[in-house]
Structure 1
């Protein structure tokens, strides 16, 4: 994927969202999971991990053919974190949750907020494509909640 194409998506979505977040593109996530992107509140920075985004795209769609669309969706989601007016309060609440259920519900809310922003930011994105990504992104949070006793 040409860097110019990625830069164009970044510029377009930053302009559309009005966000002033800093953006970094890196090749690999420095951890054990396949994280396509990360938002840091402390530095107001979104970091996108190209190889992980490509791997996620391959896992979900068995092809990297729609990598640029996948990258666009992941970036819009991370912008959703950056622009979430509730994020700081929710993140602080995560630190004080008394039960695992509260932690899971709060983490799910953080992710749902970011996805809602991404959907508004990308009204012309293929809905089936985007919903599949969202579904798989939220699935671990929802599964964790179902395992908790009521």
Structure 2
């Protein structure tokens, strides 16, 4: 999946959690192509087979309000490559291996400025006392 412009989940609350639970039936690659995404309160709780892999890469900035972060895979693995993440916890993957590649910056912040709408109006994240990642195993690739 390629982002062709900045993405803002404008109609989604940034004051409550929205947990979506799609099932992966193969690998999913999300390439931000140096765009910005603001997920507000959405968290993707991916399930599926243990051989399925999620790759999230090339986002100039990712923002998320959700306490558990933008991604909560229950199986397979997740790779983050070349992203800058701002919000509560970036990933909840206590049963999943996580790989870091390229430049990955993750910032647990109390507030996010909505850079795409509302003239940069700030909204609070759900928690700024979270760890950045809760993972089963973390692998840092040589290029990271």
Same fold (TM over 0.5): no
Structure whose residues are more often strand by fraction: 2
TM superposition score normalised by structure 2 = 0.28
Which of the pair has more CA radius of gyration?
Answer: 1
TM-score calculated relative to the size of structure 1: 0.27
